Amino acid sequence: MISLLSAPFRIRQAGRLAALALLACAPLLSSGASAAPRNEPKEADRIVAVVNDEVITASDLRQRLDLALAQLKSRGTTLPPREELERQMLERLVMDRVQLQLAKDSGVRVSDADLDQAIGRIAANNKVSVQDFRAMLEKDGVPYPRFREEIRSEITISRLREREVDNRITISDGEVDNFLAGEQQGGPASGEEWQIAHILVRSPEGASPEALQKLQAKAAQAAERAAKGDDFAQLAASYSDAPDALTGGDLGFRTPDRLPAIFAQAAAQLSPGQASGVLRSPAGFHVIKLIAKKGGGVQLPPVEQTRVRHILIRVNEVVSEDEARRKLAAVKERLEKGGATFAEMARLYSQDGSAAKGGDLGWIYPGDTVPEFEKAMNELPPGKISDPVRSPFGWHLIQVQERRVQDVSDERRRAIARQTLRERRVDDAYQDWLRQIRDRAYVEIRLGSGD
């Protein structure tokens, strides 16, 4: 793949970070819920958990719980009993703290410049300036410095996961061959998509038979309630130890081959609206619900490709937003006057791996680039140069060289298959990794003493 796509155009990862950050602030912008005041009585700051050499206080838990309740209310989810939600939220705080400690020890850092870019994307997604977004947060009782550190933590955890889990998953050529063979035979890779929600009751590594029996009974209780028609989103919030519990455990629409194998096998036996019994995996006990099905075509349709080149100026501590935009505006003016070629200007000014090739990114498929870049690119006729375009990675000048429509190439089909197989495996790997680092940490839960 071209160098730009493996560096600033990490579209899937960038999108995921933005989504995490947007989720963190969504209830504040939609429900009007206020976070807990900063001037809580000191006696409320008793310790509710110890994680290695750090503590989690009652006010830490209350602030996160208030946000969680606002999220659930904004989605119309029936609220579980507060004590259940409190227990689940404390476990998530523990898991966050374990991951942040590991990130610190491993040298994973998020610079202020990266943090500013992420917050800029959140503000843009809410169609306001950063200044207006900050005012909205503070109006809802959320101090801006605390919000920044929450987002920094989210990005840090995502980067740690990418390094420790995602980047260590390898897919062999043989696995790709088997996937494509199944697709040609109209197997589970034939294009049908399933919307799945899940509950995870995580089991510690080396747990005793008695402990496993209790955890299985907890999962069985969730499965029994789901079979009776109880609100699955509420059950996920009450029972699940997975990071997506507060979003109802909803995995969205995926083809069966992008689901963990244990989920795909169980879902194949379900009709939409049905929930499974208890499923066992190395991570613990699961209950899934098949929400809906759609699709089913075998062939990938022809797609339009765009051959494009660009000039990228990054924004950092030295180069401001205004300076980067002005520099590109001056470059565009020079290009339009015929003082230089686009390739010459790219080699001189562009700050990414495509500079040596005159900014040439080659043939781009839909979805290969971040949305801001793709939108501007799609609006350009061949030969025309865009105005400066802002993306999460800086400011661009974009020029479309030509377009074509063709069938998906064998190379592209194999790349799609490899990515699909990675996505199928990564969730299981992440849950297993979380279980391992949780088991290695010293955790003392004090919730309930004095409540």
Q: What is the pLDDT of residues 255-271, one digit of tens each?
A: 887 788 899 899 999 99
Give me the percent of the chain exceeding a pLDDT of 90.
Answer: 37
What is the DSSP pairing of strand 443-445 with strand 47-51? antiparallel
Question: What pLDDT is recorded for position 10?
Answer: 34
Looking at residue 272, its amino acid is: P
pLDDT given at position 181: 79
Q: Which two tokens stand for residue 2?
A: 């071209």
Q: What's residue 282's pLDDT?
A: 86
The pLDDT confidence band at residue 391, using thresholds 50, 70 and 90, is: confident
Beta strand 303-313 with 394-406 is antiparallel
**Can you tell me the distance from the alpha carbon of 170 to that of 418, in angstroms, rounded to the nearest whole number?**
9
pLDDT at 150 over 70: yes
pLDDT of residue 84: 79
> Residues of 430-448 as b/e, b for ≥16 C-beta within 10 angstroms?
bbebbbeebeebebeebbe
Helix or strand holding residue 160 (H, E): helix 144-164
pLDDT tens-digit readout, 190-218? 568 899 999 999 888 888 999 999 999 99
Which class for 192: exposed (0-12), middle (13-18), buried (19 or more C-beta within 10 A)? middle
pTM beyond 0.85: no
pLDDT of residue 328 exceeding 90:
yes
Computed over every residue of the chain, the mean pLDDT equals 81
Collapsing DSSP states into helix, strand and coil, what is residue 4? helix
Residue 240 gets which letter from DSSP? -
14 pLDDT exceeds 80? no
Q: What is the mean pLDDT of residues 275-285?
A: 92
* 13-17 contact pairs (CB < 8 A, 24+): 13/158, 13/162, 14/370, 14/392, 15/370, 16/158, 17/118, 17/154, 17/155, 17/158
Average pLDDT for 143-168: 89
CATH tag, 303-406? 3.10.50.40
Length of the chain: 451
Confidence of residue 71 (pLDDT cuts 50, 70, 90): low
Q: Domain 179-298+412-445: which CATH class?
A: alpha beta
Least confident range from 175-184, 261-270, 309-318: namely 175-184
In this prediction, residue 11 carries a pLDDT of 31
For residue 15, pLDDT beyond 50: no
pLDDT of 9 over the 50 cut: no
Of the pLDDT bands very low, low, confident and very high (cuts 50, 70, 90), residue 287 is very high
The pLDDT confidence band at residue 98, using thresholds 50, 70 and 90, is very high
pLDDT digits (tens, 9 = 90+) for 161-173: 988 988 888 888 8
Is residue 18 within 8 Å of 125, Cβ to Cβ?
A: yes
Torsion angle (degrees, nearest 10) of CA 380, 391, 164, 147: -150
Q: Which fold has domain 8-164?
A: Triger factor/SurA peptide-binding fold (1.10.4030)
- CB atoms < 10 A from the CB of 277, how many? 14
The pLDDT value recorded for residue 283 is 86
Matching fold, domains 179-298+412-445 and 303-406:
yes
Domain spans in the chain, listed from the N-terminal domain onward? 8-164, 179-298+412-445, 303-406
CA R_g for the chain: 24
Q: Are 72 and 245 in contact (CB under 8 A)?
A: no
pLDDT at 341 over 90: yes
Mean pLDDT calculated for residue range 420-438: 85
Give the integer Cα–Cα distance in Å for 376 and 12: 19
